[in-house]
Chains A and B, each alone.
Chain A
Amino acid sequence: MNEFNKTFKGAAGCIVTDRDIVSEAAQRAAQSCGAGRRVRKLRPAVCALLAAAMICGTGVSAVKYGWLNVVFGDSGNVILENPSDYSLEISGLETECRLPDGEISLNDVVCDGEAIYINLRLTGATEEDMQNYADFARIYPQLTTADGAFKSTVQLFSIGITDHGEDFVEMYASISSADGIDIGDKIDFKFYELSEAMYDPDEEYDFRIAFDVAEQPSDMTISLAPDREMTLVSGLFNRTMEINAESIIISPLTYQFTATILSSTGYSFDNIYEAMNQEAAVFVMKDGSRISGMDICDSYGGSLDGNDTYHIYAFFKRVFPVDDLAGIEIGGSYIEVTR
């Protein structure tokens, strides 16, 4: 135990109150009539469409959601020419809002086989309330197969929140899995005021969006296995490290990079993570243009397998045209895309 540890422990132990908080809370609890939060199960407008479709005898059991060009907010140009390629059919949509005056609806769902991207509309909360959920990761995503098995290496990213004043707040959130997204997968987003998913995952969330994937998403992924050694430089710490690039996955929505650290650097995960981010890929297009990962990637996340293998995940700020990609440059090493 170092000196900071001992000193801080002692210092924190000196922070005490003479107010009888427990008695106050007990009195309040005794006075409480135990009224629970009102739960409203909302039926989004889409269900009216479903009902209408069934009455008409079409036998439609799912509704296809379209793509909104504005989904990435102020990102500027949308490169993809056919955004409807990414729309996703869903079924079993459930929304549940426990905010006193709140309503929630699902505007849009997009999927590229690697990630699902949802766009929500929420009344009864402010942009700063929503930023709390994003900042402190109080969004509990669950991604399971049709059989209920949990999918692996699930990453959650909240990409944007837009305040529409008194009318509503719009929120974008994405989820990806190393297993990809398949028909029958169940998506469940719960948003918590207090993070209590550890022990009570079904309790005290503020609102919830859940649905099933009703069609097999198109696989638009480029998967590369370079198995190549290269040197990265960490701009922040100006250090070099030797890595073996294990795999690169590029889909219209995501960029994923897995590498094993070879040199004994003694760096913390944070240092290595920053190096892999800062040495972000340069995407070389078929027309010769080069797009820096620093410009187009957003919402980096990462994880560590064992002691040496790092996975970096990023979402693109706008849909990436994978068909036009010729290769990728990392750490000065060019890796050609082979199809």
Chain B
Amino acid sequence: MENTAASDNKLASAAAAKENFRVTDRSEFEEIARENMQRLYAHAAVITGSKQDAEDAAADAIYRLLIRKKPFESREHAKAWLIRVTVNGALKMKSRQRRFSGEENAAENLSVEFEYPEQSEVMEAVMKLDSGSRAVIMLFYFEDYSIKEIGRILKISPSAVTSRLTRARGRLKEMLKGDYFNE
């Protein structure tokens, strides 16, 4: 039992140490990409509303990771970088959708299997927001980033982040029934 405990402690320490090491190894880049692939897809899907575009945006971000020459300070740094590239790529893609279609595209069916109906209701409401607000909602509620961190990712001021979040919450409250926003 003691050996197992000691071994577990060693593993935990090694994992923690790995988190803090600079990420320079190319194979580690691919490992990080696989760890985060679904989250990147989720960000892009919520922003673009299109399965195809979301997959392309996520793939593009991962490609940029794999050809990147500079190391990362940590795995967390790499993850944040990936999210930032994906979110901004998806936003750009979304703006191009508007340009070429001439009107706001309806969100494609993302073929999502939710665990229960409330999840579907909430996501449907979020998808009615503009893409910029959806990006902020994902970063705040899904990733638990702070206002300041979101501002850095989207390169907007914290007050602009707060403004978007406040407006989005207001709209969501109007759309959603129930006590979703009571603590």
Contacts and interface: CB of A to CB of B under 8 A. Distances in A.
A270 B88 contact: no
Interface residues of A, number: 51
27 contacts: A4-B180, A8-B126, A10-B115, A11-B122, A13-B42, A13-B142, A14-B115, A17-B37, A17-B54, A21-B55, A22-B37, A25-B63, A25-B65, A25-B66, A26-B66, A29-B63, A132-B95, A135-B132, A136-B154, A137-B155, A192-B155, A194-B84, A194-B88, A198-B153, A199-B72, A203-B70, A269-B163
A196 interface: yes
Contact of A268 (B62, B110, B166): B166
B182 A198 contact: no
A140 B66 contact: no
A3 B176 CA distance: 11
A302 interface: yes
Contacts of A264: none
A4 B181 contact: yes
* Among A137, A200, A271: residue with most chain B CB under 10 A: A137
Contacts of B46: 12, 15
A197 interface: yes
A26 B30 contact: yes
Contact of B85 (A22, A34, A196): A196
B4 to A, nearest CB: 32
Interface string B31-42: 001100110111
B45 interface: yes
Given A192-B155, A198-B153, A17 B67 contact: no
A194 B181 CA distance: 33
Given A4-B172, A195-B154, 11 more contacts: A4-B141, A13-B142, A17-B37, A17-B51, A21-B41, A22-B62, A25-B65, A137-B157, A138-B88, A197-B155, A301-B157
A269 B157 contact: no
B81 A199 contact: yes
A7 B153 contact: no
A308 interface: no
A55 interface: no
Contacts of A200: 70
A2 B30 contact: no
A32 interface: yes
Contacts, number: 167
A140 B155 contact: yes
Contacts of A15: 38, 41-42, 45-46, 110, 112, 123
B164 to A, nearest CB: 9
A9 B126 CA distance: 12
Contacts of A9: 141-142
The 6 closest A-B pairs by CB, nearest first: A195-B155, A11-B119, A4-B180, A29-B66, A25-B62, A25-B63
Q: Size band of the B side of the interface? A: 35 or more
Interface of B: 30, 33-34, 37-38, 40-42, 45-46, 51, 54-55, 58-60, 62-63, 65-67, 70, 72-73, 77, 80-81, 84-85, 88-89, 91-92, 95, 99, 110, 112-115, 118-120, 122-123, 126, 132, 137-138, 141-142, 152-160, 162-163, 166-167, 172, 176, 178-183
Nearest to B178: A3
B176 A138 contact: no
Contacts of B60: 25
A339 interface: no
Nearest to B122: A7
Nearest to B78: A199
Nearest to A30: B66
Contacts of A3: 178-182
B137 A24 contact: no
Contacts of A28: 59, 63
A329 interface: no
* Among A8, A138, A203, A269: residue with most chain B CB under 10 A: A8
A3 B155 CA distance: 29
B169 to A, nearest CB: 8
B156 A194 contact: no
B41 A16 contact: yes
Contacts of A193: 88, 92
